[in-house]
Amino acid sequence: MKTNRRNFLKTAAAGLAAAGLSDFSSFASNNNSINLPPPERKGKSVMGLTCEPLKTVRIGLVGLGMRGMDTLSRLTFVDGVEITAICDVLPERVSGGKKILKDAGRKEPVGYSGGDEDWMNLCKRNDVDLVYSCTPWLWHTPVSVYAMKQGKHAATEVPAATSLEECWELVNTAEETQRHCMMLENCCYDFFELNTLNMARQGVFGEIMHGEGAYIHDLRWLKFDKEKGYAGMWRLKFSRNHNGNPYPTHGLGPVAQIMCINRGDRFDYLNSMSTNQVGMSLYAKEKLGPDSPEALQSYALGDMNTTVVRSVKGKTIMIQHDTTSPRPYSRIHLISGTKGMARKWPEEQIALEPKAHEWLKKEDFDKLMADYEHPLTTKIGEKAKQVGGHGGMDYIMDSRLSYCLRKGLPLDQDVYDAATWSSIVELSNISVNNRGNSVNVPDFTRGAWQDAKPWGIVTVD
């Protein structure tokens, strides 16, 4: 192994260990590390970054687990993309991925399954423009950083990073290489979220003052599934050592875009609190036995975490995380402004002045939704529903990503969004371990948010 490659792996491994095992209590007690100035910029800002248009987006896909296989299947329906290489630590998954592409009439990709490091060889290929990562969380930053350093654009599943150090590493690398780095926050492309974005941009809710998002999803079965958690049951391992909100972006992303975070406003500070951990231990005891290693293991992650973020301009966002309690699924998606509000769960509802004390009647709601349907869902919404992927939002996300890369346009989510939204993982942990005290959120844009334009009403041809 070459020296530079060995050093990279050593650094990556140290980052992975820090993200999963660090005790943040001393860090939180003085908050000095968070208050330090941002690291020195080695490149230039990538706010509004445009790159050379690509005739075809040639994709190298890393990680073929549950999410990766779904992604591979979905990409066969996206215009303007070619999957040239795929990678997974399990050779049978690479074979399965090749079969998916063959059955779809696509060219067979080059496969990589030569161990934990083989994804690096994929990143070096001359026929890869975009490295698309569907790995476990702790590999998101190492894969994205290495891909950008090979001159490739990077797209990664959520969260993009699990520590502040990784967040800055993503930002610094994107600025140094002038490559796109997008966190694939698919919930920004769900139908109701896009509609409410359109309404917000056109002033339907007035000035947006408050938002709420969540990831409430009973995943106990998945955390303790030894087959689907083949990579060391990584979700469960993360729960052992991390409190706070380890998975904030599904609820946060759409609200942050609507509230123009990093584009006219930015996060200032947060406060976070968690309940005790009860649910995972109880589940392990009941399903695996009271003497099982899983039942005897201690877990740091509280059943419910609630984090409140305040922006520089005095707006607030509440974010919740609970993957342990027996509750119906919810991302909340609540937007509250000076003229009214919208909420997605438990059912889609809107209330507006002058009768904001009651929800709109169905016929009025349906008309409003039709009047403000987002251009993306108007254009490709029906195909998205047919292709699937969380109701179609995954297809819309991939189609829009391909469109922007082929047109040489800025991406809808940039590296600053990836870092800011992902920073909640560590910052919430710090606040929880410090009795919910306030923790500053770094300005990953280094001031560029003040002049950046809000994300607009986008479309595809």
pLDDT 10s digits, 67-126: 999 999 999 999 999 999 999 999 999 999 999 999 999 999 999 999 999 999 999 999
- 204, 339 Cβ separation under 8 angstroms: yes
Domain ranges within the chain, ordered by starting residue: 45-185, 188-450
CA angle 223, 97, 185 (to 5 degrees): 55
Query: Which pLDDT value is given to residue 35?
Result: 62
Give which of 315, 267, 256, 319 is closest to 34, Cα–Cα: 267
Query: Which pLDDT value is given to residue 442?
Result: 97
Q: Give the Cβ contact number of residue 20 at 10 Å.
A: 17
Q: Note down pLDDT in tens along the chain; length 461 residues.
A: 343 434 444 444 444 443 333 333 333 333 545 666 788 888 999 999 999 999 999 999 999 999 999 999 999 999 999 999 999 999 999 999 999 999 999 999 999 999 999 999 999 999 999 999 999 999 999 999 999 999 999 999 999 999 999 999 999 999 999 999 999 999 999 999 999 999 999 999 999 999 999 999 999 999 998 776 555 588 999 999 999 999 999 999 999 999 999 999 999 999 999 999 999 999 999 999 999 999 999 999 999 999 999 999 999 999 999 999 999 999 999 999 999 999 999 999 999 999 999 999 999 999 999 999 999 999 999 999 999 999 999 999 999 999 999 999 999 999 999 999 999 999 999 999 999 999 999 999 999 999 999 999 999 98
Query: Which pLDDT value is given to residue 13?
Result: 44
- 46, 415 Cβ separation under 8 angstroms: yes
- 138, 162 Cβ separation under 8 angstroms: yes
Sequence-distant (6+) residues with CB within 8 A of 356 are: 339, 340, 341
Rounded CA separation 52/261 (Å)? 27
Q: Dihedral sign for Cα 405, 411, 416, 419, please.
A: negative
Give which of 166, 143, 173 is closest to 155, Cα–Cα: 143
Tell me which amino acid residue 162 is.
T
Query: Which pLDDT value is given to residue 227?
Result: 72
Rounded CA separation 409/153 (Å)? 13
Task: Specify the DSSP element, H or E, that contains 326.
Answer: none
Residue by residue, DSSP assigns 97-157 as HHHHHHHTTPPPPEEE-SSTTTHHHHHT-TT-SEEEE-S-GGGHHHHHHHHHHTT-EEEEP
Q: Indicate the CATH number of 45-185 among 2.60.40.1230, 3.40.50.720, 3.10.20.30, 3.30.590.10.
A: 3.40.50.720
- 271, 308 Cβ separation under 8 angstroms: yes
- 65, 90 Cβ separation under 8 angstroms: no
Q: Dihedral sign for Cα 244, 303, 288, 327, please.
A: negative
**What are the Cα distances from residue 301, in Å, to 16, 140, 244, 281?**
18, 21, 7, 11
**What are the Cα distances from residue 63, in Å, to 4, 116, 153, 178?**
24, 11, 17, 25
Q: Which CATH architecture has domain 188-450?
A: 2-Layer Sandwich (3.30)
Q: Parallel, antiparallel, or unpaired: how do β-strands 305-311 and 267-274 relate? A: antiparallel
Locus of tokens 């410090």: 434
Query: Which pLDDT value is given to residue 232?
Result: 59
Query: Both tokens of residue 380?
Result: 């490709």
pLDDT 10s digits, 367-416: 999 999 999 999 999 999 999 999 999 999 999 999 999 999 999 999 99
DSSP H helices, 202-336, are 220-223, 234-241, 249-258, 279-288, 293-296
Do 45-185 and 188-450 share a fold?
Answer: no
Task: Specify the DSSP element, H or E, that contains 227.
Answer: none
